[in-house]
Chains A and B, each alone.
Chain A
Amino acid sequence: KAGVTQTPRYLIKTRGQQVTLSCSPISGHRSVSWYQQTPGQGLQFLFEYFSETQRNKGNFPGRFSGRQFSNSRSEMNVSTLELGDSALYLCASSLGSGAYNSPLHFGNGTRLTVT
């Protein structure tokens, strides 16, 4: 079974631009979660989608948004990029919604650099 696929692997953008990251979950997984990882803040929860509905949201500004399609693939969008948005963005899929007894399966992330 193929794992979680994130594209692109690396991305360099300029301040003020917007970016869209893509995540294909493991086949059969209906939940997709997104995390931002930085050396200073560690792993921060962005949001979770289950069956095309946002189930949970972290404490990020409205510039961060996401969506999930009927085939469970998910995208996240960051508008008006800031230098502080430079991070590794990780997507994870799971069978069930949320964290209840349902391990997350992570992709290898998209490394976003904002200059």
Chain B
Amino acid sequence: RKEVEQDPGPFNVPEGATVAFNCTYSNSASQSFFWYRQDCRKEPKLLMSVYSSGNEDGRFTAQLNRASQYISLLIRDSKLSDSATYLCAVNNNDMRFGAGTRLTVKP
């Protein structure tokens, strides 16, 4: 079983749609959680950390469910510029990344 698993997608959604990504992790001792965004042929960049109580940053909401060992990312009112690959990352002593979920937002 992979340490971090994501649905690879692709997710193709129209502008304005709400889209949600889930990510599961296998190590129950994992301590911190992140969502990264990666544009084509670019490096991953931190989108947001995921706090136990859940957190929101504009149109983006991240949640953590420790009991079920998954994290989620919700994007509301999606924009064309949201098109990218979204990687979840889980940290214990080292960071482990999911394979990423590709999102394409269409006009």
Q: Do A and B bind each other?
A: no
- Chain A residues with CB under 8 Å of chain B are none
- Chain B residues with CB under 8 Å of chain A are none
